[in-house]
Structure 1
Amino acid sequence: MGKILIVDDDKAFSQFLKRYINQHYPVLKVQICTSPVRALPIISKGDVDLLLVDYEMPVLDGDKVVKYACEVGMDKSRIIVLSSRDADFLHEHFPLGTCLAVMNKYEARQKAVLDMVFSSLQRKAAGR
């Protein structure tokens, strides 16, 4: 319980996010996949509690990764799509109910939403 998979080809952003989670939510375990293709077998194992996926990646974009995750049984309420695109664009491509949330990964105000999700996941992982 408490496993987060970050699928993002931006290595610097992924490492930054992993360090942030490790520092503030030590119960959670974070795995990074900079290749969406390499993430597929990890997703299909079914032991990922939260999937953070970048929308724009080479070979497989975030939309395809989200569809795959749902096809193999991942609950869409455990998927967050991150992007450098604005919220209107993201909501158009991921309507309400498609996933837990869509967020601009460089907008500081989005951090509060991620913190709420991480905090909730940490409480569950710690058995509280």
Structure 2
Amino acid sequence: MGRILLIDDDRGFTNFLSGYIRETYPLLDVEICNNPVSALQRIKHDGYDLLLIDLEMPTIDGLKLLSFATQTGMDKNRIVILSGRDADVLHELCPMGTCLAVLNKFEARQKAVLDMIFNSLHKKAGGI
């Protein structure tokens, strides 16, 4: 089963996205972490196939979590940064190669990119 950790302080968004993933990609196991500080222990000790990290959160922002995750051995190509910011701003903050993708979480066109990532992970977990 493909394991995803969704880190975002917006409970409405995490409930929506995790519900969508569970319904559309049943072989993917989504864990929600609404507190970025508690995410540190999960990242450090659990083997996730994909991290979805919100950029703007209180106490620890997404870029710090990205840095922590890569320092603990997670492949940067298994990390997606999500934000409500404009794509140009996001690409300034996270230039190409910083992580797998930097996506605006409210833009409909960005959903297609997330779906490609989820579909790939679903296939690796045994889905068709």
TM-score band by shorter chain is over 0.9
The equivalent of 2:34 in structure 1 is 34
Q: Distance in 2 between matches of 1:7 and 1:64?
A: 12
Deviation at 1:46, TM superposition (A): 4.2
Shift of residue 95 of structure 1? 0.6
Gaps of 5+ in 1: none
**Does structure 2 conserve the Cα–Cα contact (< 8 Å) formed by 1:4 and 1:29?**
yes
The equivalent residue for 1:21 is 21
What is the match of residue 72 of structure 1? 72
Structure 2 SS opposite 1:22: helix
1-structure distance, mates of 2:3, 2:40? 15
Aligned to 1:96: 96
Distance apart, 1:45 and its partner CA: 1.6
- Considering only aligned residues, what root-mean-square deviation do their CA atoms show, in Å? 1.1
Contact 2:27 2:127 in 1 (8 A): no
| Contact 2:83/2:104 (8 A) holds in 1 | yes
Aligned to 1:51: 51
Q: What displacement does 1:87 show?
A: 0.6
CA deviation string 1:49-107 (max 9, x = no partner):
00000000000000000000000000000000000001111110101100000000000
Number of aligned residue pairs: give it.
128
Report how far residue 127 of structure 1 moved.
7.0
Structure 2: which 5+ residue stretches go unaligned? none
> Structure 1 residue runs of 4+, over 6 Å off?
none
Q: Name the counterpart of 2:123.
A: 123
1:27–1:125 contact (8 Å) kept in structure 2: yes
Q: What amino acid is the match of 1:48?
A: Y
1:11-43 superposed Cα distances (whole Å, 9 cap, x missing partner) = 000000000000000000000000011011111
Secondary structure of 2:22 counterpart:
helix
What is the alpha-carbon distance in structure 1 between the residues aligned to residue 125 and residue 36 of structure 2? 26
Where does 1:82-93 land on structure 2 (aligned, <5 Å)? 82-93=82-93
The equivalent of 1:111 in structure 2 is 111
State the identity %.
59
